[in-house]
Chains A and B, each alone.
Chain A
């Protein structure tokens, strides 16, 4: 009986807490595959959380809130895209600036919105009889909102696009060798803008999920550093959507366990585990020949100009 309880609670939590991580990671994977590092995820997420909450509050519709959150995240990411692609600025600094700006702006705008619960939060889906299936029922079909399932569905779709379609090849080639891609007629600029926008869209949606479904309220800084974890998860996933899913859920599971196991293991040790784990897995993989095939996109963080090196 005991292990079932542990399994159910862990997987259930994994799904709800892992979803924003997963959404944002999928987006950042695309951006980085095209060669653009976006450290502004935290800023996009928090702006998504704020605008999503306010919209949902005012329009009484959580889905409108989510849509607006995604749109705002996208708009924000375009600032970074403009700076790093068109102006060829340093991507690390541009991303950091975006995070600063997003955190500050959401704090300023959100000042009078704290302390109000969202009346029409996104409701969890009632699967009826499915929830009665032993073990799997409570794990997967109880207390989860639609966004969590959408996130899971996105994984194979985005994997397929990235690895099995021409669009995906274009994206990856822009990230590996923009000069060659350019000479083959692919618009490096367009592809990069598109991927950064996708990243922003998903990061904004992740933030919106937090304030509209996961914890239907607004508090300044409510993303709590999730954006930085996403950056790590992207690398941990070796820029592969499927690995991204595994990484997000693994991180969520470890986080949950760090609380459950607290009476027996020091909380600091447990809470640092996910971070150590990330490094350990990288070390493990680096030992093998997998390293060659799973390296970062070669042109990551390098701006591209035609006819220039």
Chain B
């Protein structure tokens, strides 16, 4: 026992010496750049992580001076050691952490390695050498909602939600607003599966919603389960994150597609040119939407609405206060333009917006601020189902 104790103490001293004295290298603009990506899941998930990895590949192709390292399936709490390896052993000058859960680990690492640049996804903490970024779907969910409201025959849409956090609540809210804009009596029924990936749960939740009478589905879950289950039963759905048209060319009407490469190309490019360095990132936050090209509407690149459903949407006419009588198809395209063009002229949360307890949440003519969007807890009127933490 004594000998073992001594060895242990010796190792500890070795550790302290080894780790305390280590820092990363500072990057000199114009040199080859090495970027480490820390993923929370596997790149084969066809959801969140797959989208990030595809974006990474686009960058590697576009920038010949760029070299990357990826680490998959890193648990929260374990990112510290992974980042250590990336900075000290792999000599990465930029570390990109692709999950909210890495927020405190990334911040601690940023403080530990002041010469390394950190880029954290969907977080809210920043340091001189740590910036944040997010590509959000809420505008596209609104567009999806417009389509859903027009196509539903039972006036019940289903939403399978992952975890009841503001991001997902915001998306469901935008979806419901879109539905109601076109169909004032329709409801959005929500079921939570309390996981980002759970095929069995997503299938069960979809079945439950089908039994409730829903005939159209949107969701937040990292597989195409909902699309398949809905299609099996003859119901339309909206793909999520990755192009899911291939899973049901017949029933996948539209969806949301992430284009993280827009953000990565921009950020990495700016690091290369020297515009961003390890000292001026404290206020760098990417909140990229349709206008910046961070996200795309549709279930397949370049296809906003599935051609098989175009006719039906063109025949569905509604009366809009501003545009008069217009087909839903045209409405969707118009809104898409309004949100994509510079000088955005439309927002899904344009007031007056009431929550489901009839409290006015957005006054007439106003929109939600960034803070209000990212901390949203209330449920838009028209949402039916359990809503944890409802104010």
A interface with B by C-beta (< 8 Å) = 5-6, 8-9, 13, 17, 107, 110-112, 114-117, 143, 214-217, 219-220, 222, 224, 226, 255-256, 258-260, 262-264, 266-268
User: By the criterion of a CB under 8 Å from any partner CB, how many residues of chain B are at the interface?
Assistant: 36
Q: Kindly state the separation between the CA atoms of A6 and B199 in the bound complex, as whole angstroms.
A: 23
Q: Shortest beta-carbon distance, A4 to chain B, in Å?
A: 11
> Which residues does chain A contribute within 8 Å of B384, judged by CB atoms?
263
Are the C-beta atoms of B191 and A224 separated by less than 8 Å? no
Additional pairs, 7, CB under 8 Å, beyond known A117-B248, A224-B198, A259-B209 = A9-B208, A117-B224, A215-B203, A219-B223, A256-B207, A263-B385, A267-B386
- Nearest neighbor of A214 in chain B, beta-carbon distance: B203
> Which residues does chain A contribute within 8 Å of B277, judged by CB atoms?
none
B interface with A by C-beta (< 8 Å) = 42, 44-46, 50, 191-192, 194, 197-201, 203-205, 207-212, 223-225, 228-229, 232-233, 242, 246-248, 384-386
> Which residues does chain B contribute within 8 Å of A226, judged by CB atoms?
200
- Nearest neighbor of B50 in chain A, beta-carbon distance: A115
Given contacts A117-B228, A219-B223, contact A260 B212 (CB under 8 A): yes
Chain A interface helix/strand/loop/mixed: helix
Are the C-beta atoms of A220 and B199 separated by less than 8 Å? no
Q: Kindly state the separation between the CA atoms of A133 and B260 in the bound complex, as whole angstroms.
A: 52
The residue that A259 contacts in the complex, of B46, B197, B199, B208, with Cβ under 8 A, is B208
Given contacts A115-B50, A117-B246, A215-B229, contact A220 B44 (CB under 8 A): yes
> Which residues does chain B contribute within 8 Å of A256, judged by CB atoms?
204, 207-208
Are the C-beta atoms of B207 and A9 separated by less than 8 Å? yes
Q: Shortest beta-carbon distance, A259 to chain B, in Å?
A: 4
Q: Kindly state the separation between the CA atoms of A216 and B193 in the bound complex, as whole angstroms.
A: 20
> Which residues does chain A contribute within 8 Å of B191, judged by CB atoms?
259, 262
Q: Can you list 25 residue pairs at the A/B interface with Cβ under 8 Å?
A: A5-B211, A9-B207, A13-B208, A17-B203, A112-B44, A114-B45, A114-B46, A116-B246, A117-B224, A143-B232, A143-B233, A214-B203, A215-B199, A215-B228, A220-B42, A220-B45, A224-B199, A224-B200, A256-B204, A256-B207, A259-B191, A259-B209, A260-B211, A262-B191, A267-B386
- Nearest neighbor of B246 in chain A, beta-carbon distance: A117
